[in-house]
Amino acid sequence: MKPPLYKIGYDLVSKRELLERLGLTDCLLAEHKWLKPSLAERSDTPPEEERHAILVRFRRRPSEWITFSGLYEIISREVIPWIDSPLEYHLYGTELFPANTRREKAPEARIPARTKLEITAIRQETVFVKVPGHPSRRYEMSLAHARFARDFPTELELRLQVYAFPPRSDVLVDWLLEEGRKKGFITTANGDRVERSAFQVWDELRQEYDLSVSAALLAIKQALIVLDRAGLESDFPYPIQEVSDLSSSTAEERDAFYSYHTVRAALAAVAALLTHDPRDPLQDLLLVDVMLEQQVKRRRQGE
C-alpha cells in the first residue's frame, strides 16, 4: 500500500516532506484535513488562500492541531491539553502513578483507564492535571508516566466521566463509557484513513441535530439498550457504505450500519421533542398532548 500524498499548493508531498517543509521535528503526522476551500473550488484557489490542518503527535509534550496555508506558513497551533492513558492511575497524596507500578501502601484512590485528565501545566519533568469532578484540586505525575491524548475529548465523554468518578456502582455509566471509547477507522473526503471513537461519531450526530449533551446521552443510552437486547455485537457505529442493499456486506459492516442509524434515529426523535418547528403544526399539537399526558401521569402517581 502506497503512503498517502497530500496536495499542498501546487505540490504533492508525503507526510515526511510535509513535516520538513513546516519545520517540525521529532513528531508524527496523525491526520490531515482541508479547511478551505471546498472540494469543488480547490482547483481554482491560489496556494496562499488554502487552509490545511494537521494533527501532530509529539513524544514528550502534548499533541497539536496546526493550521497552515498552501505556502507552508503556520497560522495557528492549538495544543491538546489532555492525558489519555490505557492504564489505570493510582493516587498517593497528590501524586498519580500507573497501576502497574508497585508500591508498598494501598492507593488512596483509583482513576479508571482511559479517563481524560486535563493538563494545567508542565514544569520540567512534572505534569500537573485536573481530575473529573474535582476542578479545584491539582494532581501531579511524572512526565515519563504521561500518555498524551491524540485528540480533544468530546463533551459526551467528559460529562459521563464526571458521573463515573470517583468510581461508582452505576453499571450504565461504565457501560456507556466503554461503548463510546470503542474505535474504528473511517475514510475521509481526501482519502485518508483516520481513527475515530464512537464518542466522536455520536458527537457529530449530536451537533447535526443541535442537541444538548444531556439530551444526546439520554437518546444514545436508550438506543444502545435496544441494540444490546437485539444481540447486535457492534464494535464501532459507523456505516461502511451508504446503501440500502446490505446483502453483499460483511456481518461487521451490517452491525456498524445498524448501530449508527439506530443512534441517529434516537437522536432525531429526541430532537423532534425538544425543538420547535413553525412549519410543522402537527409537531406542536403532539407536544401539547405529550405534556398533558405527563401531567395526568404525575397526578396519578402522586395520589
1 belongs to a structural domain: no
What pLDDT score was predicted for residue 164? 85
Instruction: Tell me if residue 273 falls in helix, strand or coil.
Output: helix
Of 207, 209, 182, 208, nearest to 196 (Cα)?
182
- Omega before 37 cis (within 30°)? yes
What pLDDT score was predicted for residue 244? 64
d(CA 193, CA 202): 18
What pLDDT score was predicted for residue 36? 83
Query: Domain of 28?
Result: 6-79
For residue range 170-200, what is the model confidence (pLDDT) as tens digits? Answer: 789 989 999 999 988 887 766 677 888 999 9
Low-confidence stretches of the chain (pLDDT beneath 50): none
What pLDDT score was predicted for residue 190? 65
For residue range 129-142, what is the model confidence (pLDDT) as tens digits? Answer: 998 877 778 899 99
Contact by Cβ (8 Å): 98, 87: yes
- Hey, which bits of 240-290 come out as E strands? none
228 grid coordinates = 444490546
* Claim to verify: residue 140 and residue 161 sit in the same structural domain: no
* Claim to verify: residue 123 and residue 253 sit in the same structural domain: no
**What is the percent of the chain with per-residue pLDDT over 70, rounded to a whole number?**
93
* Claim to verify: residue 166 and residue 297 sit in the same structural domain: yes
Hunting for cell 457505529 — which residue is that? 237
For residue range 289-303, what is the model confidence (pLDDT) as tens digits? Answer: 888 999 999 988 877
CATH number at residue 69: 3.10.450.40
Domain final residue, candidates 59, 79, 99:
79
